[in-house]
Amino acid sequence: MSKINAELNPDLKVTNDVICLPDHNAKIAELAYLKAESRGFAPGREIEDWLEAESEYLL
């Protein structure tokens, strides 16, 4: 991958011709988990937790 392509997509990191993509879903899942934990894992807000975490992560 060329340096120009890496500059166009800041999520890509090039090291010795190996491309490392961040695991977005894992990071979103961690944020959603922390949201659920902060409210005592009360059921019924799982989707809202995920969507809020996704929104925060993508900002």
Neighbours of 57 (CB within 10 A): 15
3-class state of residue 15 by DSSP:
strand
Assign 30 a pLDDT band (cuts: 50, 70, 90): very high
Judged against a pLDDT cut of 70, whether residue 41 lies above it is answered with yes
Specify the length of the chain in residues.
59
| Identity at 57, one-letter amino acid code | Y
The two tokens of residue 14 are 């090039």
3-class state of residue 28 by DSSP:
helix
> pTM of the predicted model, to two decimals?
0.61
23, 11 contact by CB (below 8 A): no
